[in-house]
Amino acid sequence: MTLWLDTLLILVFLTNLRLLGSSRLGASVRVVALQGVVLGLLALASRGGDLTGHVLFLAAVSMALKGVVFPRLLFRALREARVRREVEPFVGYTSSLLVGAAMLGLSLWVGTRLPLPTAVASPVVVPVALFTILSGLFLIVSRKKALTQVLGYLVLENGIYIFGVALAQEAPLIVELGVLLDVFVAVFVMGITMFHINREFDDLDTEQMASLKD
C-alpha cells in the first residue's frame, strides 16, 4: 500500500511541476483534472484495505467533481471566452520552476519539523501536501489570467485535501460533502464571473482590473 501511496503522491508532485512549467491553458486544465483524479485514488489508497462505503462514496464524488465537472466548466469558460490559450505569467516558467524548487525545499524542511501525532504512511505526505498548497498560492499570484487563478485555487484546495486525507481521517460525511459542495459552488460562481469578466474586458486578463485602488 505504501508503494501505491508513494506513487500517487509523486504523481501529484509531478502534476504541480507540470503546472508551474506549463504555458498552455488547456493543458493546465487537464493537468488539474488529472490531479483531482489522483487525489481520489489517494483517498482510497490511504485507507489501506478497509474501504467503507463512506470512503468509496466520497472518493467517487470528489473524482467526478474534480476530474470531470470542473474541467468541463473551465473548458466551457475557455471556449466561450475565446481567449488566447497562453498562460501569460508574471513570473517566467523557468523562474516558476526554480521558485518551485525553493518551495519544495521549504516544504521538506517544514515536513521534518512538524511532529506528527499519528504515524503517517509515507514520508512525503506532508511535503507534497505543503508543496501543493504553496504551488496553488504561487499560481494565483504569478499568473495574469482569471482562469489560471481559479486553477491555482483548485490546486490549493487539493493540497489541503491531501492534508485532510493523510492526517484527519474519518471526518463526518456531512462535513466533507459540505466542503465539496462549497468548492463546487465556488468554481461555479467563479466560472460565471469569468464569463462576465470576459464580456466586460474582452479578455480574462486580470491585469486590466486596476481601476479600484487607493
Partner 1 sequence: MQTIALVHPALALVLSPLLLGVINRTKAIFAGRVGQPLAQPYRDLWKLLRKGAVYSRTTTWVFRAAPVVGLAAILLATTLLPLAALPALLAFPGDFILLAYLLGLVRFFAVIGALDTGSSFEGMGASREVQFSALAEPALLLGLAAVAYHTHSLSLSEMISGLSSTHWSQAGAMQALLAASLFMVLLTENARIPVDDPNTHLELTMIHEVMVLDFGGPDFAFILYGASLKLWVFCALLTGLALPVRTGNLWIEVAVAVIAIFGIAVLVGVVESCMARLRLIRIPQLLVGAGLLSVLALVLSLR
Partner 2 sequence: MMIVCLVLVPAIAGVISLAIRSDALRRGLLIVGAAAHTLLTLAAWIRRPAPELGGWIALDGPGLLFLSITSCLFLMAALYSVGYLDREVQGRRQDFEEAVAFSNAPEARFTGSLLLFHATMTMVAVSQHFGILWVAVEATTLVSAPLIYFHRHHRSLEATWKYLLVCSVGIALALLGNIFLVVAASRTGSGQESMLLAELVKQGPRLDIPWLKAAFLFFLVGYGTKMGLAPMHTWLPDAHSESPSVVSALLSGALLNCAFLAILRAQQVCAAAGQAGFGQELLVLFGLLSMAFAAVFILRQTDYKRLLAYSSVEHVGILALGVGLGGAASLGAMLHAVNHSLTKAMLFLVAGNILAAYRTKSIAEVGGILRGLPISGVLWVAGFLAITGSPPFGPFLSELTILKGALDQGRGVIAVFYLALLALIFVGMATAVLPMAQGRPQKALLGGDEPGGATPLRLGSERVLAVVPPALLGIGVLVLGLYVPPVVLRAVHEASQAVGGW
Q: Which residues bind partner 2 (CB under 8 A)?
A: 114-118, 133, 137, 140, 146, 149, 153, 156-157, 160, 163-164, 167-168, 170-172, 174-175, 178-179, 181-182, 185-186, 189-190, 193, 196-197, 200-201, 206, 209, 211-212, 214
Q: Please, are residues 120 and 42 in contact by the beta-carbon 8 Å criterion? A: no
Q: Which residues contact 129 (CB under 8 A, 6 or more apart)?
A: 107, 159, 160, 162, 163, 166
Binding site for partner 1 (CB under 8 A): 3, 6-7, 10, 13, 17, 21, 93-94, 97-98, 100-101, 104-105, 108, 123-124, 127
Nearer to partner 1, 27 or 177 (CB): 27
**460533502: which residue's cell?**
177
For residue 88, the minimal CB distance to partner 1 (Å) is 15
Nearer to partner 2, 101 or 189 (CB): 189
Rounded Cα gap, residues 11 and 34, in angstroms? 9
In three state form, how does the secondary structure of 4-17 look? HHHHHHHHHHHHHH
Q: Are 130 and 111 in contact (CB under 8 A)?
A: yes
The residue among 31 and 187 lying less far from partner 2, judged by its C-beta, is: 187
As a whole number of angstroms, the distance between CA 32 and CA 71 comes to 8
**Which is nearer to partner 1, 4 or 195 (by Cβ)?**
4
Which of partner 1, partner 2, none sits in contact with 49, Cβ below 5 to 8 A by type? Answer: none
CA proximity to 99, closest of 69, 155, 142: 142
The entry of partner 1, partner 2, none that residue 175 binds, CB within 5 to 8 Å by partner kind: partner 2
- Looking at the Cβ atoms of 7 and 120, the one nearer to partner 2 is 120
Per-residue DSSP letter, 206: G
